A and B are shown apart, each in its own frame.
Chain A
Amino acid sequence: MSLDSQPLVSLPLPPATLSSLAKAGYETVDDLLSSTVEVLAEELHVPNDTAQKIFALAEKRKERVPLSQVVSMLASKATGRVVSTTCAPLDQILGGGISRAHVLELSGPPGTVKEDVAIGIVKAFSDLNERTIFVDCQNMTSPAKIYKNLANGATELIRYIRIHTITELMVFLHTLDVHLNTQPKPSLLVINSISFPFHSASSLSMQTRNSLFDRIKQALTKACAAHDLTVVTTTQMATKFVGLDGFPANFDAAGSRGVMLPQLGPSYLPDRRTSRVVVAPSSQISGVLRALSRPLHQSATLPPPVEYILSSTSRIPCHIDG
């Protein structure tokens, strides 16, 4: 059985047929295609034209699939489904750029360039003459700062709002439809420091927090699916203590060490549509971008970390070789 061949169960066949195929030793589309209509008819004890139909289904599937990840990315770039983020190392780790109707979470320790990268993506969309809603939760990106980074005349494409508390955030997401139905429609939503409003909710129970995460996830999923909205969030990090055995431990435990992870965890994000990237500095001007997760339907192996460097003139990371 070849590795990238699709299992037969992925074909739209009745269960009885699938089980007789399995009994005859066929597991994947490739297995089936290596046989012939006549052999198949004999093995399954079915008429020739039934075997012919099964064969046709398998052939059809075979034609559609062989695009590899990269090729399909290139195809989506050509059709505008992927937008370059203006940050080459980020494009590389995302496989070409940010996918429309998907969510990108950028996280990193204090002082990393995550906000600058987010503004870079706003610029990329405004260069395509597309609209952005920009939410600032922690005073990291003032209107003046965004304005400074945009081309002249692009300011009309940006709507801006400040949100500091969890109530404001939930109200905003609850009424997101209103903004998304206004013409011309926005294509990009940036929520900068989305972890901050949760500080105003430090007294909430774990259960309530989880239900809030769930609400955010639903709102984002709906906006992506129904309005083709692309979403960028940035988040701060928190330290989790891990013991010598690799399991969670307390600060007090001997030999425990702090590992930094994005503050809100993955549960507020639609997992089928989200890429999570961490900015991990290894000096004041360089470091790596590391993929934490990618959308569920993409291959399970994460791309290797991509090194970046900050030039003296820009706060957008670039490749080390320039």
Chain B
Amino acid sequence: MAPEIARRCKTSLADMKALVDAFCKASLQPLQRLEEIKHVGNEKITTGDPRLDHALGGGIRTGMIWEVAGESAAGKTQLALQLSLLVQLPPRLGGLSSSACYITTSSTLPTTRLLQILNAHPLLSSTLCGLSNVHTISTPTIAALLQILSTTLPQFLASKPNDRPIKLIVIDSLAELFHTSAQTTTNTLVERSRSVSEISVCLHTLASKYQVAILVLNEVVDVFVRQISPEWLDNGLLYFEQSKWFSRAHSIPLEDSKEVSLGLVWANQVNARMLLSRTGRRRYISKDDLGTRIQKPSHDAAPTRSHQTSTDQEATLIRRFTVIFSSVAPPTSLDYIVTEAGISTLVDNNSSASQTEQVLAPPSLEHPAPPVASVLEDDPSIPRSQLPLDVGFAEDLTNANLEVAEDDEWEQYWKDYDLPEHVYSDAGFDVGAPTVN
């Protein structure tokens, strides 16, 4: 490097060498002893759901870029909102006593929904967390986002007093910034890849320098099938072949019909990639399915159930959560539902193989589903294995619109659902942080 600079600056090589050496010496970062920093990377934010925490390797760790991809209304924003509140909890409850920064690109922070989660989630209470610790900023363009990430946020993080440091940064959502009407060409690809690279450098620097967790929401696109001539396969790694392993999930049928958007350039940047899928399956949810989830005291008629009575005999929509890859946990999949408390996973009674069979099997018409969920809970004589778990599967295949309608209903439902806050005031239970490592 020195000869090059010397030539350009028309100075002597010896001088420039001395200068480069001095610069390097001055900017030399010391190596750290692993013994002293061996716990860096163990800081986690609970998702409020022990099974989900376990699947993620203990929760959302700081110092990493996490991506949540999925269709609209799959629950991405729910998860992000949930985490924005949970990060505020004290460590004994699985939080970091910190605050969150929620960056929106096209929408605004859904504060009403945030309040509903705060009210409904068993771990949360208004004495422990609130909207004041969710900072929000809107960045409608890529340039604005870069400005925020490179200048505004670092200043904000550095100036933030220690009592409530920012430990979670959400970007909702990255892909929206890259929406363009222009056709994909080499030029647009190059441009996109440059922007993605610049954003990633900022994000990784923030993540490691301030040890914050970065949660980036992303979209999915339809997979379009291409014919591959067999002779191509000998020719090294084909992107089209490989991308299905890092851009799609394969735990149940149809889950692989969507792939995460923004391509390889972005996929290379994330430390963990999660996919939320609306699978079109339905199921009658019983208490057992939710496992040992702690309910809000004095509120036994859990909101999750009241939804079912309100829509009468409808089974709940089951969605699928998959960790496609993660630097801190092996790939895994879980079923979940969206409740007013956010995302809630279901107990996985079946091995993935048998689950696949159930999904593939046509819904049994001879044995209509039991009408209400309470029947399942109260009648132990019905062997669980015979319950028609996924009754709505075939129906939803032919009628995808139904689900959209369902989601709208949900929106309406949340709007109407407003419990007085004192119901939950100071729940005061101490379940302790999940101990999964």
**Which A residues lie at the B interface, using CB under 8 A?**
109-111, 115, 133-134, 138-148, 155-165, 167-168, 170-172, 174-175, 178-179, 195-196, 199-200, 202, 211, 215, 236-239, 242, 246, 250-252, 257-261, 263, 278, 280-281, 283-284, 310, 312, 315
Q: Are A139 and B204 in contact (CB under 8 A)?
A: yes
Say yes or no: B245 contacts A281, CB within 8 Å: yes
Interface window among B21-29, B155-163, B295-303, B428-436: B21-29
A263 to B184, CA, bound (A): 22
Please indicate the chain B residues that have their CB under 8 angstroms from the CB of A310 in the complex: 330
CB B54 to nearest CB in A, in angstroms, measures: 15
Partner pick for A143 among B24, B41, B186, B271, CB 8 A cutoff? B41
| Partner of A145 from B208, B232, B328 at Cβ < 8 Å | B328
Q: Are B201 and A178 in contact (CB under 8 A)?
A: no
Instruction: With A138-B271, A175-B28, A178-B28 given, name 9 new contacts (CB 8 A).
Output: A115-B327, A165-B205, A168-B27, A171-B28, A236-B268, A237-B268, A252-B185, A280-B237, A284-B245
Q: CB-CB < 8 A to B33: which residues of A?
A: 155-156, 158-160
B200 at the interface (CB under 8 A from A): yes
Residues of B within 8 A of A250 (CB): 186
Q: Which of B42, B264, B327 contacts A239 (CB 8 A)?
A: B264
B359 to chain A minimum Cβ distance, whole angstroms, is 18
Is the pair B204, A144 in contact by a Cβ cutoff of 8 Å?
A: no
Which 10 pairs, one residue from A and one from B, show the smallest C-beta to C-beta distance? A142-B41, A111-B325, A258-B239, A144-B41, A159-B31, A158-B34, A147-B38, A199-B197, A260-B237, A110-B267
Instruction: Known contacts A164-B208, A172-B29; decide if A257 and B39 are in contact (CB<8 Å).
Output: no
Sample of 25 A–B contacts (CB below 8 Å): A109-B267, A110-B325, A111-B246, A139-B204, A139-B271, A140-B271, A140-B327, A143-B39, A143-B40, A143-B41, A145-B328, A158-B34, A159-B34, A165-B201, A167-B27, A171-B27, A178-B28, A196-B204, A236-B268, A257-B232, A258-B240, A260-B237, A260-B238, A280-B242, A315-B330
Max count, chain B CB within 10 A of own CB: residue among A160, A161, A263: A160
- Residues of the B chain whose Cβ atoms lie less than 8 Å from the Cβ of A164: 201, 204-205, 208
B:416-437 near A, CB below 8 Å = 437
Q: Is the CB of A148 within 8 A of B34?
A: no
Note all chain B residues with C-beta closer than 8 A to A134: 34
- Overall SS of chain B's interface: mixed
Chain B proximity of A115: nearest CB distance (Å): 6
Q: Does the CB pair B240–A145 fall under 8 Å?
A: no
Bound complex: CA of A296 vs CA of B37, how far in Å? Answer: 39
Does B63 count as interface, using CB distance less than 8 angstroms?
yes
Residue of B whose beta carbon sits closest to that of A109: B242
B250 beta carbon closer than 8 Å to chain A: yes
- Answer whether residue B270 sits at the interface, using C-beta atoms and an 8 A cutoff: yes
Residues of A within 8 A of B246 (CB): 109-111
Question: Hey, which chain B residues are within 8 Å of A133, CB to CB?
Answer: 31
Residues of A within 8 A of B194 (CB): 202
- CB-contact partner of B4 in A156, A175, A211, A259, under 8 A: A211
- What A residues does B30 contact at CB under 8 A? 161
Cβ-neighbour of B189 out of A138, A251, A260 (below 8 A): A251
Given contacts A111-B324, A139-B64, A155-B38, contact A257 B20 (CB under 8 A): no
With A109-B245, A110-B325 as contacts: A251 and B331 at CB distance below 8 Å? no
